[in-house]
Copies of this chain bind each other. A is one copy, B any other.
Amino acid sequence: MLKTSESLSGGSALSEPVALRRHPTPGAEQAASTSTDPRYLPTCNGCIAREAGACPGFGVKGEASSQRGFVQLQSQIQVFPARKPILHSREEADFVPVICSGLAAASVGLPNGRKQIVSFLLAGEAASMNYLFEPCAGRAIEAVSPVSCRKFHRAGLREAVLKNPALVTRLGRALSEERERSDQLSLDLSRRPAEARIARLIASLFQRLRKKGQAQDDAIDFPLRQQQLADATGLTAVHVCKILSRFRARGLLRLDGRRLTLLDRKGLQELVEWH
Counting chain B CB atoms within 10 Å of each CB, which of A3, A190, A191 scores highest? A190
Cβ contact within 8 Å between A186 and B118? yes
A185–B136 Cα gap in the complex (Å)?
Answer: 18
A136 to B2, CA, bound (A): 12
Closest to A231 in B: B190
- Whole-angstrom CA separation of A275 from B137 in the bound complex: 21
Q: Is A139 at the interface (CB under 8 A from chain B)?
A: yes
Q: Mark A171-213, 1 if CB is under 8 A from B, else 0.
A: 1110110111011111101111000000000000000000000
Which residues of chain B come closer than 8 Å to A110, judged between CB atoms? 1, 187, 191-192, 275
Task: Check B191–A130 contact: CB distance below 8 A.
Answer: no
B residues in contact with A2, CB < 8 Å:
138
Is A66 close to B, CB under 8 A? no
- Judge if A70 is at the interface, Cβ distance under 8 Å: no
| 9 cross-chain CB contacts under 8 A | A3-B136, A109-B187, A110-B275, A128-B179, A130-B172, A130-B179, A133-B168, A133-B173, A134-B172
